[in-house]
Structures are given as C-alpha cells and as structure tokens.
Structure 1
Amino acid sequence: MPAPTTRTFASPVVEAKSWLQGLTFPPERPLIDAGQAAPADPPPDALREVIAQAALGDPAAHHYGAVLGQGPLREALAANISATYGGTVTPGQVAITSGANHAFCAALAALAGPGDEVLLPTPWYFNHKMWLDMAHITTLPLPCGPGLIPDPQEAAALLTERTRAIVLVSPNNPTGAEYPPEVLAAFRDLARERGIALIVDETYRDFTATPGAPHGLFADPDWDDTLIHVYSFSKSFRLMGHRVGALATSPARLAEIEKFIDTVTICPTPLGQIAALWGLENLGQWVASQRDEVLARQSAMRDAAPALAEAGWHLRGLGGFFAWIEHPFPTDATTVARALTGEAAVLALPGTFFSPEGDAMGRAALRFAFANLDAPEIGQLAARLVDFKGP
C-alpha cells in the first residue's frame, strides 16, 4: 500500500510560489500577490508586547500545557462564541488547537477512518481534501451551483451508510460565499437525521459582510450532538505563525480528539494561547476595524466588476478575503494563472487547485485573495486583468 502522503497532491501554495522562481518585477510594476490569504502585517504592537513579556517573564510559556488548551482561554472563547451566536457554549465543549487545520484533522480523526466518506462542497478548501486523502477517507464532492451555495437536498442524495460528516466553510475559502443561516440550519437537520457530524469551518467568521450572528446553530440546546465548529485566531489577531485555533463540540467527542492532539502536538503553543486570550479580552474594537477594512476591499473589488466583465472576467463570488473570478480564456485556469504570474505580475491560485480533476468550474475560475491588497492595489489588479491578453 502506498504511503499516505503519496495519495494526495503537493501543496498548492508551495506550487504557486514556485512560479515566482527566476522572475523579477520592476519597482514601477511590482508583483501583486493575491495568492495566499494570510495578512502580511504582524499583530498590533500591544499584542506583540504581551507576547514578548510572556516569553521573557513567564516560565510556563515554554512548558507543555493542557492537551485541550489553557483553561482561561477555553473559558474566554466559550463566552465569546455564546455572545457572538446567541447560544450556550461551555468551556468543556471547547478545545484549543495548533491552528484551524489541526482542529479539522483532529475532528476527522475522531469521526472517520479508511473506507469512510466525508462530503465536501466544491470548490473545496484544498487542505481539507489533502487530509482526507492521507487518511484514506473517500471524498464525496458536492458541486455548488452558480450562486456558490451548496444545496442540502443535493447533498442528501449523495450520502451513504459510509458517510461520517459534512464539511462546510463559511465565509468560504475559496469562493468567498457566505452561507445563509437557513442553509446551515438545513445541513444541520440533514446531518442530525442521518446521525453524522456537521463540521462548519468559520476561520473568517470575524469578517462577514452581514451584521449579527452568522447563524443560529448554537441557539439549539442540543447543538453539540451534531455540530463541530472550527475557528482560527490567525486571521483575526494576525497570529498565523503562532498556530492557534479552536473547535467546539461535545465533551464526548473532545475526549477522542484529545488523544489525537496529545499524539500529534502534545498541546497547543502556550505563547499563542496567551496572545489569543489577550486578544479576546482587549482587541474587539481593533478586530472590528479590520473587518471594516476587509469590507472596503470587497467594495473595491465589486466596483471593479463592470470593467472586468467588459474584458470577459466575471466576478462570481466575493466575501471574506476572497474573490472567485471566471477567466475569459479557452484554456484551463492553471495555465491562465501561471501566465498571469509572468506576464501581468499577478499571483493568484487557479480554481483547479480547489476542485476534482477535470471539474469545469475549477478550470474556468481563479481565486484572488486580497488580505494584503488595499483599494488602490485592487484597482491595479483589475487593470492588469483587463490588459492581460491570455496565455
């Protein structure tokens, strides 16, 4: 049997970054990097000071900690989730992980094994697909329609006795789509009816365009019999390198997840948890200001849409840090993306990185991440796309 890692594809981000090798970009036309959705700026100064003080003055910051995370952070996050969603979440239903990807892998390790199935809407988040491949878990692709919202009824027709979970990402990576509360509720009902888990990855929760609670799933007093909520502090507090994320689910599932975390990382990093706790307690207004900036970037992308459409580029999805844009060329998106890098000094990821092989939607579109692009730079991005003559 082949090694698990050989069952999946190479890291799409690493592959895309390799396209830059040997290229130079003059100062008057610098690279516009819309490839990765990670803010380039460090955390705010006050948070960096907290990290520095902990590193110098708190010996426990360098020791092993509790496998499921530090108690004060679990308490604070449980309170935050309860307040954000208008539900009831206890610290015993929360675990801290080494990033959101770790949370996803830990959840799947407690749910499914070789020969089991997990449903992923397409376009999918490629790291989710990579983990399922490596774990010998079959992926059930659920194609999204033109609105990029998965259909619960279509999902129901795909589920089998081997299906163990449905995975949703909202706001979505890669399309930016925000799933309506009623859609999420319908998927919850479907998962509960079939006796399987609903994993909702809300890494970009703090950057939704719709005000108020993203959904009402936590208002259900029995939410933890079905829902597994995945969250990340990376984007909200710019703690990418500290690898601190979280999940919320039932205490029974956490007991199984604890085994995985103890085996893989032993515990989440103490410094990252110290930073996340301070952020939850002190950076609410700052995060709100970051959301305003992200919404301004979405607005700039929306303003550019008519000019893009005239040149054959069609904005199909927008939200979070992402724009999902169909290209006007007869060739596949990978060829278009590579040509964009060299000829237009624009790095974006092709839809083929987020889709099954041969998928028409993936071949036709690219994902543009604007985590590090302000409104003028988005205007420049649009101008370069309009001027691009194709591969």
Structure 2
Amino acid sequence: MTLPRTATTFPPPVMEARRWLDGVKFPVDRPLINVSQAAPVEPPHPDMRQAMADAVLADDSVHLYGPVLGMPELRTELAARTAGIYGGKVNAEQVAITSGCNQAFAAAIATLCAEGDEVIVPVPWYFNHKMWLDMAGVATVPLACARDMLPDPWDAAKRINSRTRAIVLVTPNNPTGLEYPDDLITAFYDLCKSRGIALIVDETYRDFHSSTDIPHSLFKRSDWDETLIHLYSFSKAYRLTGHRVGALIASPARLAEVEKFLDTVAICPNQVGQHAALWGMQNLDQWLSGERDEILTRRAAISTHMPALEAQGWRLMGLGGYFAYLEHPFAMSSADLAPLMVKEVGILCLPGTMFYPTDLVAGTRQLRIAFANLDADGIATLFARLTTLDLPRA
C-alpha cells in the first residue's frame, strides 16, 4: 500500500517539543524559559496595528480576494527595497507575495521538481524544508557541513546528477545562526548556474544581519533571475507571524508557474497582512533598526556568557539571526537531553537531531537556542541554568 504524502515525513518538531511540557509544573521562582521557536511573541508596532484596523474598517477590498501574486503596491515596494539593499536591479514583475515564507519555499519546489527529483540541502537543515520535500516526493540530498557549520560548494558539486533541480541555502542560517559570506554564496550561485539548476536562498532573518554591508552580491548579476530564487519573510521584521506574509523573488516566467501553485492553495495572500507589510516598509525603518540593535545586543549577551559554559565543555558552533547553536558535553543524545532539560532546569529548546537525517549522528551532540524573545537578563538566567546541568560526560 502506498503511503499518503503526509505519512512520508516526521511530525512538526516544534509541536512535538511542546508536548514535553505536558504534566510539568514549573516553580514560581523558576518559570519556563522557552527558546524552542524562532518567532516574535510580541504584537506588531501600535501604529501598524492602527493602520491594519483602519484598513479593515475603511477599505472594503481587504475582505475580498486579491491578486494571486500579491498587492501590486507591495510587490513594487519590496522590489525597490530589495534592489536598494543589495545594490542590484529588481522589478515588481519578479516579486510574488506568499502566505508566509514556508509557502514561498513550497511554491518554488513546485515549479522546479517532479516525482523523484532531488534537492541538495546543507545539514543541519531547516526541518520544514525537509518536510515539504518529503511530501512533494522529492529526495533531499544532505550536504554535511564541517565543524565550522559552513557548506562546501565543491562537496555539493559531487552530489549533483541528472535529477538534481536545486541547492537550498538559508542565511542567516536556521538552525545555526551563521551568516554565509558573499564569496561562499557566490560560489554556490556559480556552481548552480554552470550546472543549469536553481539556487534557492532563504533570507528570512536578513533584517537582523550583524553587518551593514550587503548580504550578498547576487542581485548585481544581470541575469540573476535565471538561477536565483530568493525567499523573504515579513514575519520576523514586523512581528506579523500570525498574518502569514512572505515573498518569492524570481524570473517572471517562474512566477507564472508560481501563480498556478498559489491559486490552488490559498488563492491570494492575507490582505490585512499585506497592507501591514506595505505600511511597515514605508513607515517603520527607524523602529526596525532598533529591533535589529536589540537582537544584536542579545547576541552579544550570548557571547558574554558563553565562557562559563565553555569551561564545562560546551562549544558555540554558530551565532546569529535568532539563534545560538551549541554543542553539549554530555554522554546522552540531545534527543534525550532536550526533554530532560524541561524537567531539570526549566528550559525548552530543540535538539540537534531534529535538524539532521536519522543516519547522521552529529545532531546528537547539538542544541538550538532561539534567543530572540529573551532580553539580556533572560539570557543570563538561561546560561546560569545551563551551567547547573550535572550529567555524565561524553
């Protein structure tokens, strides 16, 4: 009997981790520290919420179907902003608005792959990418990273065959937080271009990049849209997670195929969310800069407190975006350590095993900390609790 598509992949990891909380009571003086999910927990800026309310009350069109590829004004604004950030050329006809960045990835894969095709994905990977590839009948080819957690384009070249359709990069990376340097991204782009496959670059956490330099130079290429498929999310920048607004930037020819996919899944992106994203880009640059500064402050706090853990055998493998990626010193697998930490120290985080195929053991020594919802004091408390873990060492 052939399995249905959903049965070919694993349960959603964040939902699985939340079940570890069932039946656990946390003392008043040691409340739960939840660093399992990389999403803002605060609502959007008050002025944005007012703009959303005004749109709901005054603009009848927000309650109706809109264009499948998104509001023309939002597509135009994002094209201009992308061109400005990267110093390249992007026009509205190359932009599609999607119901979140996950849908942008799903749409990209739908335009690229047939049954049995392959996509190369560095590991540790973003698990929702792997889940969608499974459900699409596409083979995920893992590209193991070295101890520096950076993928090797020459290693990727060895894995390309006649069924390969794309390579996927996430930068700043989920789960490691690492920001891939321009020369590395360019090397992957040149590889994909030379082999006639797509390079999908997911930059969900771009707005929290630690450098003020351009994240990469791909948009400066005159023919970038023949190879590059760029993914973006408004959710993290503007706290719009519940409104599901993402984007896919690619060639107009590819967007004609994307439109088929989007029209049969959600018909159009969330209208209120699109108005919010547009208003945010037009009005909240200074506020967003402050949000970035706060994330960088919290990132610095991780670095400040890390020596205490290093003295106990921990290692910081990656730091950036919303994430700190740690190697733990204990004999047990992170798959067992993570649920134990809920009970022992009141910390909910994700084990590295959730970001690897089951036949690779590297994830058993790794943990992902999503720190964006902890201030500096919360990070200090997090590290203080981690230092109290007293378990057999590897």
* Shorter-chain TM band: over 0.9
- Pair 1:39-2:7 in alignment: no
Distance 1:384 1:29 in 2: 10
Q: 1:51: Cα distance to partner?
A: 0.8
Q: 1:224: Cα distance to partner?
A: 0.2
Distance 1:96 1:27 in 2: 44
- Pair 1:281-2:282 in alignment: yes
Partner of 2:344: 343
Distance 1:213 1:281 in 2: 20
Partner of 1:14: 15
Give CA deviations for 1:46-98 in whole Å, capped at 9, x if unaligned: 00101111111211111000000000000000000000000000000000000
Partner of 1:364: 365
Whether the 8 Å contact between 1:73 and 1:273 is mirrored in structure 2 is: yes
Q: Taking structure 1 as the reference length, what is the TM-score of the superposition? A: 0.99
Distance 1:82 1:361 in 2: 38
Structure 1 residue runs of 5 or longer lacking an equivalent are none
Alignment of 1:193-272 (within 5 A): 193-272=194-273
Partner of 1:25: 26
Partner of 1:185: 186
Give CA deviations for 1:205-233 in whole Å, capped at 9, x if unaligned: 00001112100000001100000000000
Distance 1:390 1:80 in 2: 49
Whether the 8 Å contact between 1:37 and 1:321 is mirrored in structure 2 is: yes
Distance 2:371 2:351 in 1: 15
What SS does the aligned partner of 2:318 have? strand
Alignment of 1:1-391 (within 5 A): 1-390=2-391
Distance 2:359 2:353 in 1: 8
What SS does the aligned partner of 1:318 have? strand
Counterpart amino acid of 2:101? Answer: A
Give CA deviations for 1:227-271 in whole Å, capped at 9, x if unaligned: 000000000000000000001000000000000000000000110
Distance 1:22 1:113 in 2: 44
Distance 2:272 2:40 in 1: 19
Distance 1:310 1:383 in 2: 13
Distance 1:390 1:10 in 2: 29
CA-atom RMSD in angstroms: 0.8
Whether the 8 Å contact between 1:68 and 1:96 is mirrored in structure 2 is: yes
Whether the 8 Å contact between 1:339 and 1:390 is mirrored in structure 2 is: no
Q: 1:114: Cα distance to partner?
A: 1.1
Q: 1:313: Cα distance to partner?
A: 1.6
Q: 1:390: Cα distance to partner?
A: 3.1
Q: 1:360: Cα distance to partner?
A: 2.4
Q: 1:40: Cα distance to partner?
A: 0.6
Counterpart amino acid of 2:54? Answer: Q
Q: 1:371: Cα distance to partner?
A: 1.5
Counterpart amino acid of 1:284? Answer: D
What SS does the aligned partner of 2:317 have? strand
Give CA deviations for 1:145-189 in whole Å, capped at 9, x if unaligned: 111111100000111110000000000000001000000000000
- Greater alpha carbon shift after TM alignment, 223-232 vs 302-311: 302-311
Q: Taking structure 2 as the reference length, what is the TM-score of the superposition? A: 0.98
Counterpart amino acid of 1:310? Answer: A
Counterpart amino acid of 2:73? Answer: P
Distance 2:232 2:210 in 1: 17
Q: 1:330: Cα distance to partner?
A: 1.2
What SS does the aligned partner of 2:387 have? helix
Whether the 8 Å contact between 1:115 and 1:162 is mirrored in structure 2 is: yes
